[in-house]
Chain A
Amino acid sequence: MSDTTVTARQLPDRLDNPLKSAVLSWESLLVLVALGIFLANSFASPYFLNAWSLSDLTFNFTEKGLIALAMALVIITGEIDLSVASIIALASTLMGLALQYGADTPTLVAVGVGVGVLCGAFNGFLVTGLKLPSIVVTIGTMSLFRGVAFIILGDQSFKGYPKEFSWFGQGYVGWVISFELVLFLVAAVIFYVLLHRTVFGRQVFAIGNNATAARFSGVRVDRIKFVLFCLTGLMSGIAAVLLTARLGSTRPSIAEGFELDVVTMVVLGGVSILGGAGSIIGVVLAALIIGLVTFGLGLLNVPGIVMTIFTGSLLIVVIALPILWKMWKERRA
């Protein structure tokens, strides 16, 4: 027999069975959770399994989900953006202001999206230009952006958005398929390709795993982070258009608390809050799960604040379970 001294580094004969690793992946766990909640909902309420109910359900996550797609990339690079809900508030307020000056629908959309990008660029500049920690910067801009909305609006509200504008939040592309859902799915595909199939996406992962190493391999770390903050701003601006169109009015308190829901979606989707790992499919599934949970509980007349117990517990349990499982396996070994 050959020499049996085992070298420290052994190459496996074959890679892990791709089927097996797909079955054991985070995404399949999320699919199971989603199916479980879907079934539970169907049994719990007779109103759930209905095309229009299911269509309404999607409104629960499309706006937040759009932001979560971009936020996933930001978190993968090891940064975070807590100002997204405030960007919505500011963008929505400025759209309302533009409306007072007689802006038409295309202008309104341009204002909303433009404000979003500018706010994102401001965050990006503070983080990459001035080298400040993103968590503090965006806690600051979170107050600042919404604060400006409060200065403009006070306790008033803007109403009277044109009918064509409302279509963005209330319109249907066909049958029960809403424009918001289509937009979310298209964006999900774009972000999937961007993160998993392009050089840019690989660079995002590289930054998250080791920003210094990435820099030495020629990745323009700051520029990419800046672009990602702009992207998150852009998605928040788009969400502002959708939400404003859906609600038909703007108050400075619009979208309050969205930022934490968005981060919950991203983390639940398997993106490591420490950066360097995550997938768009996971984020989309997590968005769906949160939508299912909140909508199902809503059908059972559970008040919104009690729902947050479920989403909060879901976040902790889904993250803790694999860790506990691993610890248990290690103890047995």
Chain B
Amino acid sequence: MNRLLKSRELWLALAILAVIVLVTLRFPRFSQPANLLTIFNDTSILMMLALGQMAVILTRSIDLSMASNLALTGMIVALTNAAFPFVPVPLLIAGCVVVGAALGAFNGVLVWKLNIPPIVVTLGTLTIFRGLAFVASGGTWVNASQMSADFIQLQRGMFLGLPILSWFAIVVALLVYVLMTRTPWGRAFYAIGVNPVAAVYTGIDVGRTKFLAFVLSGALSGLAGYLYVSKYVIASTESAGGYELTVVAACVIGGVSIAGGIGTVGGAILGALFLGVVNNALPVIGVSPFWQMAISGAAILLAVVLNASSERSKGRIILKKAEVAA
């Protein structure tokens, strides 16, 4: 019970609930299931990106190139679809994941083999990937009329009352959850985040593990690339502009420690949902959408203050004798 009270996920869930309740008091229709499901669906892409970012941040790295990766793979898949409408969409989605993973692997290799700090690498690829999206499209947009019906409709299909897009997020969340908690891979992410030196002594290859985290975040960015393009039915160079930091924000709000080693799948999802709910609530209560940015900024600062105070109490005295002696 004590642990539950201290859990970040619980408080975040309560905060989200509080926002929903407050808005509902004025606008009862806000909390109708249909609207809540729409919010969930609208936040799905951010959730998947946040999960990828979390894996990277756990290893004491950061991936600033996710949004650009999304824009590039989104553009590539949209162009492919426009040029070869007969290629089945599931194949295109698989292609997106592969392309995204390859872009992530590029980041990962530079971090792993050349030891360049991740923030420098992804700062570079952030501009490179988005620039390539422009080159690939020649600066034009791919719009609805050029996309095949399947391409647009696949993620809008309903299954058990939820759009396929939401199912994508749910399945990805489950897979990442299993990966993080039930596989050596996932545990290695945490291990090198908590203590890289100790991780080496337990036989974990730190560089390789970071590489895998970047491949994961790349693959999820690639998947998000297709979903983003087909959701908004447009592929442009500016797809998901500014998202690179929103994704980091979702993680931080979700309690993922930027210092590495701390973070949960539930936290990252709730962090993304919090941003989604707030952004959805603002227009409803008549606050200008121009407030959105300042509010998410304030939320990040509040979250990081809370993160810091919960992380600081982590220290534990292992040797009782030493304590007495001191």
By a beta-carbon cutoff of 8 Å, the part of chain A in contact with chain B is 80, 82, 126, 130-133, 135-137, 139-148, 150-151, 153-155, 252, 260, 263-264, 267, 273-274, 303, 305-309, 311-313, 315-316, 319-320, 323-324, 327
Q: Contact: A151 with B288, CB < 8 Å?
A: yes
Q: Mark B96-116, 1 if CB is under 8 A from A, else 0.
A: 000000000000001000111
In whole angstroms, how far apart are the Cα atoms of A311 and B297 in the complex?
28
Interface CB pairs A-B, < 8 A, 10: A132-B304, A139-B245, A147-B295, A151-B294, A273-B120, A308-B131, A312-B127, A315-B123, A323-B114, A324-B114
Known contacts A309-B128, A315-B123; decide if A303 and B134 are in contact (CB<8 Å). Answer: yes
Nearest residue in B to A256 (C-beta to C-beta)? B242
Minimum CB–CB distance from B5 to chain A (whole Å) comes to 23
Known: A82-B245, A151-B294, A320-B114. 14 other contacts (CB 8 A): A136-B252, A139-B245, A140-B298, A144-B294, A147-B295, A147-B296, A150-B294, A151-B290, A263-B123, A274-B117, A305-B134, A312-B131, A316-B120, A320-B110
0/1 per residue, B273-309, Cβ < 8 Å to A? 0000000000000001011111111101100110010
Query: Which B positions have Cβ atoms within 8 angstroms of A?
Result: 62, 110, 114-117, 119-121, 123-128, 130-132, 134-135, 139, 237, 245, 248-249, 252, 258-259, 288, 290-298, 300-301, 304-305, 308
Judge whether A143 and B297 touch: CB under 8 Å: yes
Do A143 and B117 touch (CB < 8 A)? no
Interface centre among A133, A146, A154 (most CB of B within 10 A): A133
Q: Which of A252, A273, A305 has the most CB of B within 10 A?
A: A305
Question: Number of contacts between A and B (CB, 8 Å)?
Answer: 139
A59–B131 alpha-carbon span in the complex (Å)? 23
Q: Tell me the bound Cα distance from A137 to B296 in angstroms.
A: 12
Closest to B288 in A: A154
Q: Is there an interface contact between B121 and A316, defined as CB atoms closer than 8 Å?
A: yes
- Indicate if the CB atoms of B296 and A143 lie closer than 8 Å: yes
Chain B residues in 8 Å Cβ range of A313? 124, 128
Beyond A143-B293, A273-B117, A315-B120, whether A133 also contacts B128 by CB under 8 A is no
Q: How far is the CA of A24 from the CA of B249 in the complex (A)?
A: 41
CB-based closest 8 A-B pairs: A147-B294, A143-B297, A144-B297, A147-B293, A309-B131, A140-B300, A312-B127, A308-B127
Closest residue of chain A to B62, judged by CB?
Answer: A135
Residues of chain B within 8 A (CB-CB) of A139 are 245, 248-249, 252, 300
Query: In the bound complex, how far is the Cα of B291 from the Cα of A150, in angstroms?
Result: 7
Verify A133–B304 contact, CB threshold 8 A.
yes
Q: Closest CB-CB distance, B235 to chain A, in whole Å? A: 15
Cα distance A137–B132 when bound, in Å? Answer: 31
Residues of A within 8 A of B288 (CB): 151, 154
| CB–CB A133/B125 < 8 A | no
Distance A21 CA – B273 CA, assembled complex (angstroms): 54
- A136 and B128 form a contact (CB under 8 A): no
User: Which residue of B123, B296, B297, B304 is within 8 Å of A145 (Cβ)?
Assistant: B297
A312 touches B125 (CB 8 A): yes
Complex Cα spacing A153 to B288, Å: 11
Q: Are B131 and A264 neighbours in the complex by a CB distance under 8 Å?
A: no
Rounded to whole Å, the gap between the CB of A138 and the closest CB of chain B is: 10
The complex places the Cα of A224 from the Cα of B249 at a distance, in Å, of 28
Question: What chain B residues lie within 8 Å of A306 (beta carbons)?
Answer: 131, 134-135
B135 touches A312 (CB 8 A): no
